[in-house]
Amino acid sequence: MRTLCKSLIILSTIIAPLFAGGLWLEIGNPAASPEAQAKHAVLIARATSCHSPSKTSLTATAEGIVNGVRTSIPLKIAPLSTEGTFAIRREWPEQGTWVVKLVATNPEYNGFYSGVLVPVDRGPVKWAAIKHYSHAPTDAEITAALSGATTNVRASVN
């Protein structure tokens, strides 16, 4: 009987988060939104969550390598009229290799993050290379994304 109780407690602990909802970042093309275009956005981020979407906060950073030096630039986020939707403008230099790191948090999802790395190397967003994470992207993941962007650029030049 004691083993059964322990098993049920463990099982309920594992299953409960499945019914708690989720927090997710969707990345979109600003060409689909006149409002985002008016704000000169290069991409749109939409945070979706089952609980209290209005409490979701978003941070954005341009992470890059310029002349062999790793650089981070905090980005301003412009809220759009649709709740949880934000415009991100280009605030990083043309030279170098860049990804935009986005991280969404919500107090309803204590300790859970939704993260995205968006390659924006020398031009438009590389939509097919966007990476989603259930955590804030780590330095190793950012470095790997920057290395991939550099490799892709070199491969396309040859």
pLDDT digits (tens, 9 = 90+) for 55-72: 788 999 999 999 999 999
Identify whether 5 is part of a domain.
Answer: no
Whether residue 145 is predicted with pLDDT greater than 70 in this model: the reply is yes
If one counts the domains in the chain, the total is 1
Query: The domain containing residue 80 runs over which residues?
Result: 21-157
Higher-pLDDT residue of 50, 64: 64
In a domain, 153, yes or no: yes
26 inside domain: yes
Give residue-wise pLDDT tens across range 2-42.
554 454 455 444 444 444 557 788 999 999 899 999 999 99
Residue 7 in any domain: the answer is no
User: What is the DSSP code (8-state) at residue 109?
Assistant: G
105-144: b or e for each residue (b if 16 or more CB lie within 10 Å)? bbebbeebbbbbbbbbbeeebbeebbbebeeebeeebbee
pTM of the model: 0.77
Domain annotation covers residue 72: yes
pLDDT value, residue 148? 78
Q: Find the CATH number of the domain harbouring 143.
A: 2.60.40
